Structure 1
C-alpha cells in the first residue's frame, strides 16, 4: 500500500509502530490507514486521488487472492459504501470488480 501511496507512510508507521510493525494485520492497516484516506478524498472531492485509489482497489480485486479480496471488501468498501448514497458520481470511478464487490453494501 505504501509503495502505491507514499503519502500514507507516516500514518502507516504511526499505526504499526505500537502494534506488530510490518506484521500488523492487513484489516487493521487498511481499515485504519487506507480507508480514512479514501474517505477524506471522497469528502473533499479529490478526483485525481480517487481515480488512483479506486484503480489500486481494482488491481487488488483482480488478483483474486481470497485474503486480499476479503481485506479490501470488508475493511475498505464496506466502510465507505454509505458515501456512495450521498455522492452518486463515485460509482462511475469504479472498475468492474470493485462495482461487483461494493454492490452488496449499497
Structure 2
C-alpha cells in the first residue's frame, strides 16, 4: 500500500481530523507525505485525546480501524501501525496502556505482544 492510499484511508475513516491532516501535510508532500509521519503526528495525538477523555465509542472505532489495517497483511500498513501507532502509545508514559488495550482486537494484541517480546530479547 502506498502512503497516499494509507493516509486517505485515515481521513476517510476519521473525517474529524481532516483539518489537522491538511495543516500538517500542506507544507510537506500533501497526501504523499509519509504515513509514518501522518500516523505518528496526527493519528496518535487523536487516539491519546480519546484515551484521556475515555471516549469509548471513538476508541472502539479507532481500534477497529487499526485491526482492519492489520488484517490487510500489507507490509507497509503493518509497519506504520506497529512502529508509528502502537509503539508510540505503549511507550508514552501519559497513556494508560491497560485502558486502551481493552479496545484492541486479536491482531492488534498480537502486534502489541510482539513489540513487548522484542523488547525483552
Cα contact 1:81–1:105 (8 A) shared by 2 = no
Q: What SS does the corresponding residue of 1:52 show, helix, strand or coil?
A: helix
1:54 to 59, 63, 71: 63
1:105: how far off?
Answer: 3.9
1:4: how far off?
Answer: 0.2
Q: Deviations over 1:36-72 (max 9, x none)?
A: 1001111111100000000000000000000000001
Matched, 1:25 2:34: yes
Map 1:49-88 → 2, pairs under 5 A: 49-82=58-91, 86-88=96-98
Unaligned runs of 5+ in 2: 1-9, 117-121
Worse-superposed segment, 86-95 or 32-41: 86-95
Matched, 1:43 2:52: yes
Matched, 1:7 2:16: yes
1:88: how far off?
Answer: 2.0
1:86: how far off?
Answer: 3.3
Unaligned runs of 5+ in 1: none
Q: Deviations over 1:61-93 (max 9, x none)?
A: 000000000001000000001469735243221
Give the TM-score of the pair, scaled to structure 2.
0.81
Total equivalences in the alignment: 106
